[in-house]
Amino acid sequence: MSKIAVFFQSEPPPAVDGIKKPFKPGGYSDSGADIGFALKESGHFIATPTTFPDPANDKDWVFPDTTAGFAKAYEAGARTFWLNTVLYSGHPVEQINYPDVKFVGQLPADVQAMDDKFTTNRRLKDRGLPIAASELVKLEDWQSVQLTTPKVVKPVRGRGSQGVQIVKTPAELKALVERWKATNEFGDAFMMEEYLPGEEITITVMPAGTYRIQGEEVVKDTPWALPPVRRFNHIQGIAPYNGVVAVTANSAVIPPQELNAPSILEVTQACERAGTLLEIHAPIRIDCRQNSEGQFLLFDLNMKPNMTGPGRPDRDNQDSLSGIAARGIGWDYKDLLQAVLSQAWKMVVSSQGYLRK
């Protein structure tokens, strides 16, 4: 009997060129448990670390993303590994060799490359996509920044809006830099990005594949976008981190009558093209915001969108931006998970040991 195993992040990823990606407490075990529970409720066979997983206990549903965790899941009958974790070059998943296993998630090397938001934005801009202007600044060089207009300071390998702040004066920038130095949470550099004053939306891009939409089987030859989600109730100009304010309190899918607006069509197509350029194997989420002329610019690409969802006890108010977007085409949380699961891919291990699709 083939089963599905969901994996969580067991430890922080290594720093890359002095840049750190912050570790989420629990390592996404909460959303991993949501995924496992919902898939089981949908009739799938789920491998779990315990024989009788408690719906209220996150870790009962997920395995650690370690060599031992992968082995335990395989021994429990899992032949689909859902990588609900932060991947990187050298991740333990690259070292396993189970030719009969399928994966849900991105390639580790792709995640490491694209998690560098500055490099990714520059790459997409070079290919003609509308990207917010930014520069990379070392913490030690912060005094060289010319603050003629408000700027957004953000981690280079950030997670959602954690650590993101608008700065308007050298004193504000100095205080932020000193705080980053004291915590050493994000590494030795930051992104300084133009502040976009207009409306903010987020777009989930699904990989190419075959999907079931409104009762029909639909083949998507290239990455495609779910309906955009409008963000509101910003705090000091920034959408709050979802660990502090639930996305249900500040997000709503854009209604069908607005989807054909030229600015929405343009940015949606840009996000879909980004998915094509990056050769995605699982959903990604791209945050976009209007400049003073009303044009939407892409400013934050996330290779691992949150997949929190309802179903478990006391979790009915849980949701994700991708889940909200999915409802725009008639999918509930279970439908979204099934759509993601249907794009699971087989691995090939090269002579260097890296995963290839």
The confidence band for 241, taking pLDDT boundaries of 50, 70 and 90, is: low
In a domain, 116, yes or no: no
In a domain, 244, yes or no: yes
Number of H helices, E strands in the chain: 8, 19
Closest among 25, 11, 17, 23 to 185, alpha carbons compared: 23
Same domain assignment for residues 265 and 323: yes
In a domain, 117, yes or no: no
Same domain assignment for residues 312 and 221: yes
Domain final position from 144, 171, 194:
194
Same domain assignment for residues 186 and 282: no
Closest among 136, 133, 163 to 149, alpha carbons compared: 133
Same domain assignment for residues 84 and 151: no
Q: What is the CA radius of gyration of the chain?
A: 20
Q: Distance between CA atoms of 119 and 111, rounded to whole angstroms?
A: 12
Q: CATH number of the domain at 263, please.
A: 3.30.470.20
**pLDDT at residue 356 is higher than 70:** no
Cα dihedral 260, 262, 266, 271 in deg (nearest 10): -40
Same domain assignment for residues 351 and 315: no
For residue 57, give every residue at least 6 positions away whose Cβ sits within 8 Å of its Cβ, in sequence order, or none.
Answer: 33
Same domain assignment for residues 138 and 208: no
Element at 73 (helix H, strand E): helix 67-75
In a domain, 310, yes or no: yes
Same domain assignment for residues 337 and 348: no
Q: Are 255 and 327 in contact (CB under 8 A)?
A: no
Same domain assignment for residues 148 and 231: no
Same domain assignment for residues 206 and 188: no
Same domain assignment for residues 204 and 337: yes
In a domain, 122, yes or no: no
In a domain, 213, yes or no: yes
Same domain assignment for residues 219 and 321: yes
Q: What is the mean predicted confidence (pLDDT) over 35-47?
A: 98
In a domain, 112, yes or no: no
Number of domain units in the chain: 3
* C-alpha 163: how far from chain center: 16
Same domain assignment for residues 15 and 65: yes
> Residue 223 burial by CB count (10 A; 0-12/13-18/19+): exposed, middle or buried?
buried
- Tens-place pLDDT, residues 121-165: 999 999 999 999 999 999 999 999 989 999 999 999 988 788 899
Give the global pTM.
0.94
**Residue 108 three-state SS:** helix
Type of residue numbered 47: A
- Tens-place pLDDT, residues 192-224: 999 999 999 999 999 999 999 999 999 999 999
Query: Which domain range does residue 95 map to?
Result: 3-105+344-356
**CA-angle at 216, arms to 212 and 217, nearest 5°:** 55
Q: CATH number of the domain at 149, please.
A: 3.30.1490.20
The confidence band for 349, taking pLDDT boundaries of 50, 70 and 90, is: low
Q: Are 81 and 102 in contact (CB under 8 A)?
A: yes
In a domain, 19, yes or no: yes
**Sign of the dihedral defined by the CA atoms of residues 163, 189, 9, 107, in that order:** positive
